[in-house]
Structure 1
Amino acid sequence: MSTETTLLFNITLMLVIAGICSILLKKIKLPAIIGYIFAGFLLSPYIFQEVVINQDLVSIFSSIGIVLLMFYIGLELNLGGLKKVASYAATIVIIEMPLMVIIGYTAGVLMGYALGEALFLGVVISCASTAVVLGIMRDNKNIDYRLSRAVTGILVLEDIGFIIILAVASPIMGTTSSGSIFSTLLIIAIFIGITVVIGLTIIPRFLEWVNKHYPGEILFLVGTGFAFGLALISSSLGLSEAIGAFLAGILISQADCCDTMIRKVEPMKEMFMAIFFLSIGMQLDPTLMWSGLGLAILIAVIFVLGKVLSIGIGCMVANFRSRSAFFVATSMVAMGEFSFVVAKQALDANVITNGLYASIVGAAVITMIALPLVSKSSPKLFNWFVKHLPKRAFETLDRMENSRLEVRAKVARSEHAKHMIRRQLLYVIIDVVYVIAVLLGINVLVLLYSTGQVILFIVAVVMVLPALVHMSKRMRVISEIMVSTIPNESGKDRSKRLQAFKFFNNVNSMALFVLMLGIILPLLPKPEGLPISPIGIVLALAIVVWLAWDTINSRYDKVAAILSRSFTDLKEDDDHH
């Protein structure tokens, strides 16, 4: 057959088989996405070897589907919607992703894997599939508009977070990375900053001019061309093409012609997304899948339980009701498509075996198939869980839930409490910036001076410890401020206040621990040739710092006071103006 005939045959076969499979599965009330994956499995070279589908063609169409999906999501969300979800979505992701890496790493160690393999497992389960989650969420009646925006914001930030985690973990896993953690953060900040600043100034006005003077199809070509251009730049910088496409949608959403773009993009997005899901099914090797089925199921279970737990904790910190937190968590239990890419890189670098690679791919597919069933059944699962909780545990959790919501509501109405919390959070931010600045400075010195690395490591630990202690104290003060709105007159009130304080203090401390773990571990210098383990040095230094605490603490207090006074003075000047 000629090239043109082969191309038409491949496209026809993929679309027809995908359509037939989705219709059949819809008859038994399964989502169309599962039909697409099954169609890909049927068209894979492992089933009908006589039917050969061009893998490069499928890969290209899949990438187009991801770009169009994220472009469409950006158009629908718009800048105003992104601002509303950014704060609590960031809170959830900062807590959830490090927890998932820790859960995966711990599971890998318990299963007997080496450091690189265990860390690889933690990395690949840290991110959910943007395409699968958003594709299935449209049919999920349990997710309303507010929760769907939250899920979208979490997924976008997860894509960014995954790039950062991969940059940190790649040297330890033994795979290649696009750069250091510092260069990766710098690239992300510069790319997003320049794109947003220049884009908001030019793009909406230019598209409105095109819409006014030219037909709708030209508007569609210009808009999608801009989306693919940003996706190309994003990909060439080592980031996900999804980030660039999403930014393009956000920028174009500020134009008055946004609704026209949404109507024109949607049909093409649907077709290419079907091929994306079909490509997932084509990667399934039945022989490898069967040999590693037990491990694949175990990894899938670890991912689902870990995702529900970590996102649930993040949502609770972000003040979601427990029911809403459970719905958000269960709507994201599909391993990301990035896991296929990272697994292939790790396999090529001999970090993992063929068996673990096949199990990771199998686990990802299992979660993608399970997601629509889990998310659809989330109300029944939540009610079952509540019903089967021991009475005492239910009463304790119920009191904590009511206290948490009551305290948050009272704090929202108290200007004094909000002012005090903001002030303490400002101190925490200063402490975090101080820790990052110290560690980055020490890393620069480590690069400049090959000798004395152990001394620099000791200096870094001594300089960072006071800030960590201060942050812990300030989180405790925030917890005290939050519960100060609860009356303290009767014994019942005092008991309620104590329970609320324990809850907020534990949650705030855990959030701080996860945040610091994600900052300190990647940035703490790792000198070669240490006579004892870094953990031993840290413990020894902790004893030294404790003995000399008064001197170190007084010096740090002076630095923090100067910085906080400067920020406060600037804020008061802004208020006066």
Structure 2
Amino acid sequence: MLTIMLYLAIILLATKLLGDLFVRLGQPSVLGKLLAGILIGPAVLGWIHPNEFISIFSEIGVLLLMFMAGLETDLDQLRKNWKSAFAVAVGGIILPFVGGYGAAVLFGLSNNQSLFLGLLLCATSVSISVQTLKEMNRLNTREGTTILGAAVVDDVIVVVMLAVMMSLLGTGHDISLGLLIGKKVLFFIVAIVVGWLAVPWFLKLFAPLRVTESVISGALIVCFALSYFADLMGVAAIIGAFAAGIAVSQTPFKHDVEDRLEPIAYSIFVPVFFVSIGLNITFEGVTSQLVFMIVISIVAILTKLLGGGLGARMTGFNTRSSLAIGSGMISRGEVALIIAATGLESGLLLQKYFTSVVIVVIVTTLVTPLMLKLLFTDGKTDGDQASVSE
């Protein structure tokens, strides 16, 4: 217990101080918070090491972050941009898959291992993009909603691709593709019905309870329940949290929940999530694979940027907005880490490449806020103009 309290004190102090420093330097505070994890983690000072406590707190942190993103999402804007979101997701899967496969072949990996690395680079986790866009007040723009929508589509396609690959490559003979897709479809049907009918009814009944903070408690019940159901159905839990946020945003309790949840999330859980990413970095024995890491990092960044950007450009965004959307899809985050762990267990990702892949994932996460800041500053995006008709 004493260790937990010390860890929390160090994490909160480091994230707030480095976050403030980066804001003063004209950069997103999230970048400072991510670097705080590297600084206080095993890579540099070694004050904090990954453990179960960090894992649980960081999972809650990312769920709350995506729940708040759902709360702030303009549903009408999301509906208008569904074609763009789909195009961005598809473009952001095709190019990384081809690029990752090609790069792996060049480094002498087997065909199966190369296919898996290509699949791993298809993943997208927008939790870092969400935080950066929130800081720049761009989350609810046309670009922001397209990034969020594309992330949902990306998650579903990549999970289905992973199941197919596990089955075809002999590591998951009992995976039924029909069952897998059916579970995903079931999740979205239930999420829509629950969000439309059950959530408003539940909060209306729950809010008047004569206990403290009944409204925020009710909203959190919805968030964690839908996150659990999403995970159960093979969809990322963050998608369930995002869907829960959209559902609550359609009720009269939206602003009350926003005002009360933000202090809870940003005072403790979200900082732990940011730090947990940096804790995965260790520089031991990576010098022998430096070229591999550099090449795969470049491929990972450019293929998502260009693939997602091309999808946006083809559906009516200007060039700068298209690149901004592509940059918002670059971060691989926890989704890619989960896929990497799956590959390690199945033998499709060799142990000697695991640390390098983790570092590549973290590099993409660190680059994302820098690129979003660059592309959304000192330039005109479609979000600054009148909406382009669909």
Q: List runs of 5+ in structure 2 lacking aligned partners.
A: 381-387
The structure with the largest alpha-carbon Rg is 1
> Judging changes above 3 Å, is the alpha-carbon distance between structure 1 residues 312 and 52 closer, same or farther for their aligned structure 2 residues?
closer
Partner of residue 126, structure 1: 122
> Judging changes above 3 Å, is the alpha-carbon distance between structure 1 residues 107 and 86 closer, same or farther for their aligned structure 2 residues?
same
Q: Does residue 113 of structure 2 align to residue 117 of structure 1?
A: yes
Q: Does residue 264 of structure 2 align to residue 268 of structure 1?
A: yes
Alpha-carbon contact 1:78-1:254 (below 8 Å) kept: no
Q: Does residue 274 of structure 2 align to residue 277 of structure 1?
A: yes
Partner of residue 192, structure 1: 188
The structure 1 residue matched to 2:304, chosen from 307, 311, 314, is 307
The structure 2 residue matched to 1:331, chosen from 318, 328, 331, is 328
Which amino acid in 1 is paired with 2:265?
Answer: K
> Judging changes above 3 Å, is the alpha-carbon distance between structure 1 residues 354 and 260 closer, same or farther for their aligned structure 2 residues?
same
Partner of residue 394, structure 1: none
Q: Does residue 349 of structure 2 align to residue 352 of structure 1?
A: yes
Alpha-carbon contact 2:90-2:154 (below 8 Å) kept: no
Which amino acid in 1 is paired with 2:135?
Answer: D
In 2: Cα distance, 1:221 partner to 1:142 partner:
28
Partner of residue 39, structure 1: 36
The structure 2 residue matched to 1:99, chosen from 95, 99, 104, is 95
Which amino acid in 1 is paired with 2:357?
Answer: I
Q: Does residue 364 of structure 2 align to residue 342 of structure 1?
A: no
**Deviation, structure 1 residue 255:** 0.9
In 2: Cα distance, 1:382 partner to 1:262 partner:
30
In 2: Cα distance, 1:82 partner to 1:216 partner:
34
Partner of residue 76, structure 2: 80
Partner of residue 475, structure 1: none
**Deviation, structure 1 residue 156:** 2.1
Q: Does residue 213 of structure 2 align to residue 217 of structure 1?
A: yes
Alpha-carbon contact 2:97-2:122 (below 8 Å) kept: yes
In 2: Cα distance, 1:178 partner to 1:82 partner:
36
Q: Deviations over 1:434-453 (max 9, x none)?
A: xxxxxxxxxxxxxxxxxxxx
In 2: Cα distance, 1:79 partner to 1:177 partner:
40
> Judging changes above 3 Å, is the alpha-carbon distance between structure 1 residues 103 and 174 closer, same or farther for their aligned structure 2 residues?
farther
Higher relative contact order (CA closer than 8 Å, sequence separation 6+): 2
**Deviation, structure 1 residue 228:** 0.5
In 2: Cα distance, 1:144 partner to 1:198 partner:
23
Partner of residue 499, structure 1: none
Alpha-carbon contact 2:92-2:329 (below 8 Å) kept: no
Q: Deviations over 1:191-232 (max 9, x none)?
A: 221232244222113313433565771110111012111111
Q: TM-score, normalised by structure 2?
A: 0.88
Which amino acid in 1 is paired with 2:3?
Answer: T
Q: Deviations over 1:293-351 (max 9, x none)?
A: 32212111111211122112211222222232122112332223211122122223332
Q: Does residue 223 of structure 2 align to residue 227 of structure 1?
A: yes
Q: Deviations over 1:140-175 (max 9, x none)?
A: 478871211111111222222221221122234554
> Judging changes above 3 Å, is the alpha-carbon distance between structure 1 residues 122 and 320 closer, same or farther for their aligned structure 2 residues?
same
In 2: Cα distance, 1:34 partner to 1:76 partner:
22
Q: Secondary structure at 2:30's aligned position in 1?
A: helix
Partner of residue 383, structure 2: none
Q: Percent identity?
A: 26
Which amino acid in 2 is paired with 1:84?
Answer: K
Q: Secondary structure at 1:138's aligned position in 2?
A: helix
Q: Secondary structure at 2:135's aligned position in 1?
A: coil
Partner of residue 68, structure 1: 64
In 2: Cα distance, 1:66 partner to 1:120 partner:
26
Which amino acid in 2 is paired with 1:266?
Answer: E
Query: Cα RMSD over matched residues?
Result: 2.8
Which stretches of structure 1, 4 residues or more, deviate above 6 A after TM superposition? 141-144, 379-383
Alpha-carbon contact 1:100-1:126 (below 8 Å) kept: yes
Partner of residue 527, structure 1: none
In 2: Cα distance, 1:352 partner to 1:209 partner:
50
Q: Deviations over 1:386-412 (max 9, x none)?
A: xxxxxxxxxxxxxxxxxxxxxx98xx8
Q: Secondary structure at 1:343's aligned position in 2?
A: helix
Q: Does residue 204 of structure 2 align to residue 208 of structure 1?
A: yes
Alpha-carbon contact 1:293-1:362 (below 8 Å) kept: no
Alpha-carbon contact 1:10-1:54 (below 8 Å) kept: no
In 1: Cα distance, 2:337 partner to 2:154 partner:
16
Q: TM-score, normalised by structure 1?
A: 0.61
Q: Mean alpha-carbon deviation: is it higher for 160-169 or for 23-32?
A: 23-32
